[in-house]
C-alpha cells in the first residue's frame, strides 16, 4: 500500500476551523505535512507548516505531494478538490461534513476520468498506525497490526479501533469512507486494496443503515475477497424515515413503490450472512470474531 | 426536505413544465373566491403518499360542494398527518398516465432518470417496469430521449416527454434536489402533456445556497421537535418513547449506542447526536459547550430516568468534559435531575474520573459497562 511514513501531504483549508485543529495533530503523529493552502493566508505558517494561496504555488515550493487532505467549508470542497486534481494530485481525502451531493457527482465524474482516488466526504480520513495520519483519527486509540478497518463512520470507527487495540489486535489501516450519501470511494474499492495489501490479514467492515453499499460489498466479498471479513452494522434499532446525523444513514425509499425495505439493518445483515461473513452483534464482539478468523487461517 | 405538492408545482411552473390552473386554499371559505371554473379537484397537502385511497382527494361541481369537501379534507388524517393547506385544481381527464423521476443513485454516484408508461397509482404495482437511464457524464437531452425510447414511447411523444424530462433534470441540478418526481404526467390524445401530481425533495446540505427553498422550510412544521427546544438545528435529535436520554458525538456512535441500550433491555427516550469531528457548524473543539446545551435540553424537554453520555474523540480532553458536568450538577440539586452515566475515552481520563467520582457520577471507559449501568438505573 502506498500510505507510508515517507508520504508527502498537503492540507487545504489549513487556517479554517478544522484545518487549524487537525493539521498540527497530523504533523505531531509524524505525518510529513509539507505545505498548507488557504487563499489570502499565503506566507503564514500553521504549526510551522508553510501556507500558500494556491495549490500550484505550494507544489512549486515543496515539490510533488502524494495526498491532499481537504478541510475547507462544505460549499468550497468541490472547488478545492478540482484545484488539487488540476495540480495532478491523485489521492484526495475529504473530511468536511455537509457537501451537497450534486457537488460530489461533479467531482466523481472528474475523478473517474483522471483516475483519482477520493475518500469521503464526512470522513475521518485514513490512518496507518505507526506510519501516517491523513485526517482526524485519534492516534492514541490505534496500534500497528494486521486488521484492516473500513467504516462509514467517524467516532464509531475510533470506538471499534480502541476495542481492537485493547484486545491486542493492531491495525494495518483504518479508512472512513464517509457518512454522506455520495462518497468518493466505495467499500469494494477499499476491499480490493486491502485484499492486495501484505500488511492486512483480516478486514473489519463497519456499516450502518441506509443505502445499499453493505449489500453490494457483501456480494463483492463472496466473489473476490479471500481474506476473512467481519462485519458490524450500526442502527439496527433506529427508527425509519428519520435523519440520524449522517446524511447517508436514513432508511427511506425516495421513489414511490421502490420498496420500503431499502437500507434496513436486516437487509444488510442478511446479505453478509448469505455471503458467509460473520456479523458482530455489538462492537465488543468484533475482536472475538477477528481472533476466531485469525486462528482458523 | 420534502415539499408539498403545491410548492413542487410552483417550481414546475418556473421551469416551464405544464401544470393545471390551481389555487392554494388555506381555509374552506377561500373557495368563495375561487378563480378556477368548476368542476374542480380538492387535494389534501400532506407529506405522505396514499392520500387518494384515504379520501384526501375529492371532486366538487360547485361552491357548496367544494366547501363541504374542503371541511372534510381538513379534518381527515392521512397516515397521521392533517393538512394545513389544500390545493384546488381544474379537473382533467387524461388519456394516458406516465411516471417520470430524477433521483440520485448512491452506488453509481450519478443521477438516474426513471420512467414508466404505467403511471398514476399503478406505478407501485409495476415497479419492475420502471426504466432507468444513468446520467453518466454532463447532462444532455439525449439522455432524456434514451429514457423515452426505453419507456416504449413513439413518434411525437418521444420529443414531447423527453422535453419534460430535460426540464425536470434542469430543476434537479439547479436547485440541488434529491428527487423530482411527476406521477402522473398526463398525456392527451391531442398531444398535450400535464404534470398532474408531483413530488420534490430538497437536499438539506445544499439548502443554505438556495434561499428560495430554505424559505419554504420556514412554512413547514418541524416534525419531532417541540417548540421549547433551544438546540442548534444542526444537532440531530431523534425522539422515542422510553426513559433513557442518550447523548453522543457522531452519528454512527449514536446509532450503535442506541442499539446497545435496546439490546440490553433499556428503553431510549431519545438520542441526540452532538456532532462528530468534521462539521463546521458544530466545531469539534467546542464539544463541551454542546454537551451543556444537550443536557439543558434533556432536562427541559424529556421525562427521563437516566441520561447516558457517550463521547469518543480526540480533540477535547476528558477533564474538560468533566468540568462542564460539574457546572451542570452545581446548577441543579439531585432531586431536580435524572442521574447521569458517563462513558469517556481519551486524554486525561483518570483526572476526569476522579472529579466525576467526587460528584457521584459513575464514569466508565468501557462502553458495555456504561450501557449496563445506565439500563440498571433506568429500571430504578
What are the residue ranges spanned by the domains of chain A?
Answer: 1-122, 137-297
Q: What is the pLDDT of residue A252?
A: 59
Mean pLDDT across chain B = 90
Stretch A173-188: mean pLDDT: 95
Judge whether A287 is closer than 8 Å to chain B, CB to CB. Answer: no
Show residues of chain B in contact with A99, CB under 8 Å: 205
Give the ipTM. Answer: 0.95
pLDDT at site A11: 98
Taking the C-alpha atoms of residue A128 and residue A124, their distance in angstroms, rounded to an integer, is: 13
Q: Which of B103, B200, B237, B278 to mutate to test the interface with A (most CBs of A within 10 A)?
A: B278
Q: Which residues of A are marked as active site?
A: 246
Find the catalytic residue in B99, B143, B169, B328. Answer: B99
Report chain B residues whose CB lies below 8 A from the CB of A266: none
Q: What is the pLDDT of residue B219?
A: 57
Compare CB distances from A182 to B104, B136, B276 and report the shortest one's residue: B104
User: Residue B371 forms beta bridges with which residues?
Assistant: none
A 190-229 → B contacts, CB under 8 A: 206, 208-209, 211-213, 216
| B3 contacts chain A (CB < 8 A) | no
Interface contact flag, B238 A244, Cβ < 8 Å = yes
CATH for the A1-122 domain, from 3.10.560.10, 3.40.50.150, 3.40.50.720, 1.10.10.350: 3.40.50.720
**Which pTM was predicted?**
0.93
CB half-sphere exposure, A5, CA atoms < 13 A: 7
Q: What is the mean pLDDT of residues B142-171?
A: 97
Report the residue of chain B nearest A153, measured CA to CA: B252
What is the predicted pLDDT for the residue at B74?
A: 96
E strands, chain B, in order: 22-25, 40-44, 57-60, 86-90, 96-105, 110-116, 131-134, 177-187, 193-195, 198-202, 236-239, 244-248, 268-273, 306-312, 340-345, 363-364
The CATH number for B21-90, chosen from 3.30.460.10, 3.30.429.10, 3.30.1490.20, 3.40.50.300, is: 3.30.1490.20
Lowest mean pLDDT among A57-61, A117-121, A254-258, B35-39: A254-258
CA dihedral B53, B56, B57, B58 (to 10 degrees): 110
CATH 3.40.50.261 correct for A137-297: yes
pLDDT over 80 (residue A234): yes
Cβ of A16 and B280 within 8 Å? yes
CATH topology of domain B236-378: Rossmann fold (3.40.50)
Residues constituting chain A: 297
State the cell numbers at A24. 498540527
Question: Do A137-297 and A1-122 have the same topology in CATH?
Answer: yes
- Alpha-carbon gap, residue A157 to A220, rounded angstroms: 22
Residues belonging to chain B: 380
pLDDT score at B222: 45
Percentage of residues in chain B having pLDDT higher than 70:
94
Around Cβ B68, how many Cβ atoms within 10 Å?
A: 14
Least confident of A66-70, A198-202, B217-221, B375-379: B217-221
Is A257 in contact with B127 (Cβ distance < 8 A)?
A: yes
Q: Do B278 and A235 touch (CB under 8 A)?
A: no
Cell of A157: 470507527
The answer to whether the CB atoms of A255 and B346 lie below 8 A apart is no
Per residue in B264-299, pLDDT (tens digit) is: 999 999 999 998 889 888 888 889 999 999 998 998
Residues from chain B that touch A122, judged by Cβ atoms under 8 A, are: 278
A104 has a chain B CB within 8 A of its CB: yes
What's the CATH number for B96-204?
3.30.470.20
The number of angstroms, rounded, from the C-alpha of B119 to the middle of its chain's C-alpha atoms is: 25
How far is the C-alpha of B136 from the C-alpha of B148, rounded, in Å?
A: 17
Residue B122: per-residue pLDDT: 64
Which positions in chain B touch A251 (Cβ < 8 Å)? Answer: none
For A37-87, the DSSP string reads E-TT-TT-EETTEEEESSHHHHHHHH---SEEEE---GGGHHHHHHHHHHT
Compare all CA atoms of chain A with the CA of B208 and give the residue at the minimum distance. Answer: A75
Q: What are the residues facing A217 on neighbouring strands?
A: none
Amino acid at each position: 500500500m502506498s500510505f507510508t511514513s515517507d508520504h508527502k501531504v498537503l492540507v487545504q483549508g489549513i487556517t479554517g476551523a478544522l484545518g487549524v485543529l487537525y493539521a498540527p495533530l497530523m504533523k505531531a503523529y509524524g505525518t510529513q505535512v509539507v505545505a498548507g493552502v488557504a487563499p489570502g493566508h499565503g506566507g503564514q505558517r500553521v504549526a510551522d507548516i508553510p501556507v500558500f494561496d494556491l495549490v500550484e504555488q505550494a507544489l512549486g515550493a515543496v515539490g510533488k505531494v502524494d495526498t491532499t487532505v481537504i478541510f475547507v467549508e462544505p460549499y468550497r470542497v468541490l472547488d478545492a478538490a478540482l484545484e488539487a486534481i488540476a495540480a495532478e494530485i491523485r489521492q484526495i481525502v475529504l473530511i468536511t461534513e455537509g457537501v451537497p451531493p450534486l457537488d460530489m457527482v461533479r467531482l466523481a465524474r472528474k475523478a473517474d476520468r483522471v483516475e483519482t482516488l477520493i475518500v469521503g466526504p464526512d470522513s475521518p480520513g485514513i490512518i496507518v498506525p505507526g506510519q501516517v495520519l491523513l485526517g482526524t483519527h485519534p492516534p492514541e486509540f490505534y496500534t500497528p497490526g494486521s486488521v484492516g478497518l473500513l467504516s462509514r463512520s467517524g467516532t464509531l470507527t475510533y470506538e471499534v479501533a480502541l476495542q481492537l487495540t485493547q484486545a491486542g489486535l493492531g491495525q494495518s489501516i483504518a479508512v472512513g469512507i464517509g457518512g454522506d450519501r455520495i462518497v468518493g470511494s466505495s467499500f469494494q474499492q477499499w476491499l480490493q486494496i486491502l485484499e492486495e495489501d501484505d500488511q492486512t490479514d483480516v478486514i473489519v467492515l463497519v456499516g450502518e443503515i441506509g443505502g445499499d453499499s453493505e449489500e453490494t460489498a457483501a456480494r463483492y466479498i463472496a466473489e473476490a475477497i479471500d481474506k476473512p471479513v467481519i462485519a458490524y452494522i450500526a442502527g439496527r434499532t433506529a427508527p425509519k424515515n428519520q435523519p440520524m446525523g449522517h446524511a447517508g444513514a436514513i432508511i427511506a425509499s425516495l421513489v414511490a413503490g421502490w420498496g420500503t425495505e431499502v437500507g434496513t439493518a436486516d437487509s444488510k445483515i442478511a446479505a453478509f450472512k448469505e455471503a458467509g461473513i460473520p456479523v458482530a452483534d455489538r462492537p465488543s464482539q468484533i475482536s472475538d470474531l477477528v481472533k476466531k478468523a485469525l486462528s482458523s487461517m | 426536505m420534502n415539499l408539498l405538492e403545491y410548492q413542487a408545482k410552483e417550481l414546475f411552473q418556473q421551469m416551464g413544465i405544464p401544470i393545471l390552473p390551481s389555487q392554494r386554499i388555506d381555509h374552506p371559505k377561500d373557495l368563495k373566491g375561487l378563480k378556477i371554473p368548476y368542476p374542480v379537484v380538492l387535494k389534501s397537502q400532506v407529506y405522505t403518499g396514499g392520500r387518494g385511497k384515504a379520501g384526501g382527494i375529492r371532486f366538487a361541481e360547485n361552491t357548496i360542494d367544494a366547501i363541504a369537501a374542503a371541511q372534510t379534507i381538513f379534518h381527515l388524517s392521512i397516515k397521521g398527518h392533517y393538512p394545513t393547506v389544500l390545493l384546488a385544481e381544474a379537473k382533467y381527464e387524461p388519456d394516458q398516465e406516465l411516471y417520470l423521476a430524477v433521483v440520485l443513485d448512491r452506488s453509481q454516484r450519478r443521477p438516474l432518470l426513471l420512467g414508466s408508461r404505467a403511471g398514476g397509482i399503478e406505478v407501485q404495482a409495476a415497479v419492475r417496469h420502471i426504466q432507468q437511464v444513468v446520467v453518466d457524464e454532463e447532462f444532455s437531452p439525449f439522455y432524456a430521449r434514451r429514457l423515452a425510447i426505453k419507456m416504449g414511447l413513439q413518434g411525437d411523444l418521444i420529443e414531447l416527454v423527453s422535453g419534460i424530462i430535460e426540464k425536470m433534470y434542469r430543476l434537479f441540478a439547479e436547485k440541488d434536489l434529491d428527487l423530482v418526481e411527476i406521477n402522473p404526467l398526463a398525456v392527451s390524445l391531442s398531444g398535450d402533456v400535464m404534470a398532474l401530481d408531483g413530488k420534490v425533495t430538497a437536499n438539506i446540505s445544499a439548502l443554505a445556497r438556495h434561499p428560495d427553498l430554505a424559505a419554504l422550510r420556514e412554512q413547514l412544521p418541524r416534525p419531532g421537535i417541540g417548540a421549547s427546544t433551544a438546540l442548534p438545528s444542526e444537532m440531530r435529535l431523534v425522539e422515542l418513547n422510553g426513559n433513557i436520554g442518550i447523548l453522543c458525538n457522531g452519528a454512527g456512535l449514536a446509532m450503535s449506542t442506541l442499539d446497545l441500550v435496546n439490546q440490553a433491555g433499556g428503553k431510549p427516550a431519545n438520542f441526540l447526536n452532538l456532532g462528530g469531528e468534521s462539521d463546521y457548524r458544530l466545531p469539534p473543539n467546542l464539544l463541551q459547550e454542546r454537551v451543556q446545551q444537550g443536557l439543558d435540553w434533556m432536562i427541559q424537554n424529556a421525562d427521563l430516568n437516566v441520561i447516558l453520555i457517550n463521547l469518543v474523540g480526540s480533540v477535547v480532553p476528558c477533564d474538560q468534559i468533566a468540568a462542564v458536568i460539574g457546572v451542570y450538577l452545581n446548577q441543579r440539586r439531585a432531586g431536580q435531575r435524572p442521574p447521569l452515566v458517563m462513558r469517556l475515552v481519551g486524554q486525561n481520563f483518570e483526572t476526569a474520573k476522579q472529579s466525576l467520582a467526587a460528584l457521584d457520577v459513575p464514569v466508565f471507559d468501557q462502553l458495555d459497562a456504561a450501557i449496563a449501568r445506565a439500563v440498571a438505573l433506568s429500571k430504578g
